[in-house]
Amino acid sequence: MAGTLTRTGGSLPDTLSHKSVVEKQRAAIEKLRAQNARLKEELLLENKFSVRPSNPSATIWINKLQDEADLYTRKIQLQKRRVLMLQQQQEGAKGTLGTARLTMGGVNSAREKSVGLQKQITILENRLEKQYIKYNEAATGGSMFISSAMRERCGRATGTVGWTVVCRPVA
């Protein structure tokens, strides 16, 4: 039946009905062709914007890369948690170190104390040196002052009435 149509001496309405059936079938075929073309266009558009390739090896490769991306994402999250934990430990250690420094008297307390003691020693040495100078001046210069004052008195005492002064050198 698919090859050729045989004509038999049929009636006219038979041929008309046959023509109308053929036309209906052709119209249905054209309609199916149009639907097929429209579906092909939709499929091309979907494949164009689709993330899944039609190539199976590419699909395997994409799946492998997605697995690696998930692995690295988990590793990044783990590292972020570790960093956060280390930051908390660092803050705790800073607090402990700060309280220890306060109880000791500061970061450089030993050095500051020794510097303070050294300053006090130099101040006291300077004061002592000044006192030595004053003492020596009083011991040497003062005896001269006393002896000159005594000489003056002895000289005046001889000229005054009622005063008798014996002048002796001051040792």
Range of the domain at 85: 60-107
Greater model confidence, 56 or 142: 56
Instruction: Decide if 5 is inside a domain.
Output: no
Q: What is the pLDDT of residues 28-52, one digit of tens each?
A: 999 999 999 999 998 888 777 766 6
Q: What is the DSSP string of 42-93?
A: HHHHHHHH-SS-S-HHHHHHHHHHHHHHHHHHHHHHHHHHHHHHHHHHHHHH
Q: Tell me how crowded residue 139 is: count the other CB atoms within 10 A of its CB.
A: 9
Question: What is the average pLDDT value for the chain, to the nearest integer?
Answer: 79
* Whether residue 65 sits in one domain with residue 101: yes
Residues with Cβ < 8 Å from 150, sequence gap 6 or more? 167, 170
Whether 9 is in a domain gets the answer no
Same domain, 29 and 45: yes
151 and 118 within one domain: yes
Question: Has residue 47 been placed in a domain?
Answer: yes
- Check: CB of residue 84 under 8 Å from CB of residue 91: no
Our count of domains for the chain comes to 3
Kindly state whether residue 162 falls inside one of the protein's structural domains: no
Same domain, 102 and 118: no
The pLDDT score that the predictor gives to residue 150 is 58
Please indicate, yes or no, if residue 127 is contained in any of the structural domains. yes
Q: What is the pLDDT of residues 88-121, one digit of tens each?
A: 999 999 999 888 888 877 777 778 888 999 999 9
Return the number of other C-beta atoms located less than 10 Å from residue 143's C-beta.
Answer: 13
Distances (CA, A) of 148 to 4, 92, 144, 153, 158: 169, 79, 6, 9, 16
* Any domain includes 6: no
